[in-house]
Amino acid sequence: EVQLVQSGAEVKKPGTTVKVSCKVSGSSFTDYYIHWVKQAPGKGLEWMGLLSPLDGEAIYAEKFQGRVTIAADTPTDTVYMELRSLRSEDTAVYFCAKGVIDWYFDLWGRGTVVTVSS
Amino acid sequence: EIVMTQSPATLSVSPGERATLSCRASQSVSSNLAWYQQKPGQAPRLLIFGASTRATGIAARFSGSGSGTEFTLTITSLQSEDFAVYYCQQYNNWPPYTFGQGTKLEIK
């Protein structure tokens, strides 16, 4: 059974960087697209980007381009999402999700709460 | 970017009754539409993909329909565990993948 296990909650100051991990267990992350989705408090779901299994490349939403990096550590089957220059609007729950090909998301991690506060 | 619009924002229905949720795309997404359910403090769960195919383990009271720009999620005989927020998502034209703003299904 494939599971996505995310890292724990983070509290960061404005202007700093957060790195959230998503470990794929029960399979190799290279078998799937792995996506990152943001959910601000009381708000909806917002797609941030994905890591493609085909070539290991990341594709980002324009809104986050330049401030986010999605990458993987192959030996540990862990995918990371790094968000830089944090501001209060980045306070949110960040989910990783497994994609079925490049279509819908059939499995989600439990989410990582990131709080940005001075 | 394809904009997904869900209606209503909140839907109040009594247990045992039927709920009908709508999702509209700003341009055709063919049948490349998914529905997710999210309960407080939990991750979203896939309900429907391909506009009308139930995901593994999803109860038959959940059904999806539509294609192009208009989609519907119907939940018959509402159970207590069905009260949650529901999101539609298009995956026809990306990046970006886009979600609707959600419909909160609450107990009447």
**Over 80: is that where the pLDDT of A29 sits?**
no
Probe site for chain A from B97, B103, B104 (most A CB atoms < 10 A): B97
pLDDT of residue B77: 95
Query: Residues B4-32: what's their mean pLDDT?
Result: 97
d(C-alpha B83, C-alpha B36), whole Å:
13
- A102 vs B91: CB contact, 8 Å cut-off? yes
- Calpha distance A89→A38 (Å, rounded): 11
Q: How much is the pLDDT for B5?
A: 98
Alpha carbons A95 and A117: distance in angstroms, whole number: 20
SS3 content of chain B, % helix, strand, coil (to 5): 5, 50, 50
Please identify among residues 42-101 of chain A the ones whose CB lies closer than 8 Å to any CB of chain B.
44-47, 49, 59-63, 95, 97, 100
Average pLDDT over residues B14-28: 97
Residue of A nearest to B91 (CA): A103
CB-based contacts of B57: which residues, under 8 Å, 6+ apart? Answer: none
Instruction: Answer yes or no: are the C-beta atoms of A77 and A24 closer than 8 Å.
Output: yes
Share of chain A above pLDDT 90, in %: 81
Cβ atoms of residues B54 and B37 within 8 Å:
no
Which of A12-26, A48-62, B58-72, B94-108 has the weakest average pLDDT?
Answer: A48-62
Interchain pair A110, B45: CB under 8 A: no
